[in-house]
Homo-oligomer: A and B are copies of this chain.
Amino acid sequence: MNVVKSKSDARIPVAVLGATGSVGQRFVQLLAGHPWFRLAEVVASDRSVGRPYFQAAEWRLSASMPQDAAELAVKDYDAALESPVVFSALPGEIAGAIEQRMAREGRALFSNTSTHRMAPDVPLLIPEVNPEHAAALDVQRQIRDWSGFIVTNPNCSAIHLVLALKPLHDAFGIDALAVTTMQAVSGAGYPGVPSLDMIDNVVPFINTEEEKMTEETKKLLGGFDGAFQPACLTMSAHCNRVPVRDGHTECVSIRFASSATPHDAARVMAEFRAKPQELDLPSAPKHPVIVRTEPNRPQPNLDRDAERGMATTVGRVRECALLGTKFVLLGHNTIRGAAGASILNAELFKVEGLLPI
Contacts and interface: CB of A to CB of B under 8 A. Distances in A.
Given A195-B197, A243-B199, A322-B234, A182 B182 contact: yes
Contacts of A243: 195, 199-200, 242-244
Interface string A94-113: 00000000000000000000
Interface bracket on A: 35 or more
A249 B180 CA distance: 12
A244 B199 contact: yes
A190 B194 contact: yes
Contacts of A200: 199-200, 243-245, 300-301
Interface in A176-214: 176-178, 180, 182, 185-186, 190-205, 207, 214
Contact of A236 (B207, B253, B302, B305): B253
Among A60, A194, A197, A200, find the residue whose CB has the most chain B CB atoms closer than 10 A. A200
A277 interface: no
A202 B244 contact: yes
A300 B201 contact: yes
A299 interface: yes
Given A204-B315, A305-B62, A328-B204, A185 B176 contact: no
A65 to B, nearest CB: 11
A326 B210 CA distance: 12
Contact of A60 (B192, B302, B322): B302
B64 A306 contact: yes
A27 B266 CA distance: 33
Given A182-B202, A185-B199, A203-B296, 17 more contacts: A60-B196, A62-B302, A178-B322, A191-B196, A199-B200, A200-B243, A201-B299, A202-B249, A204-B297, A205-B296, A234-B321, A236-B320, A238-B251, A238-B326, A242-B242, A242-B243, A243-B244
8 contacts: A22-B196, A185-B196, A200-B243, A204-B251, A204-B297, A205-B316, A240-B249, A242-B242
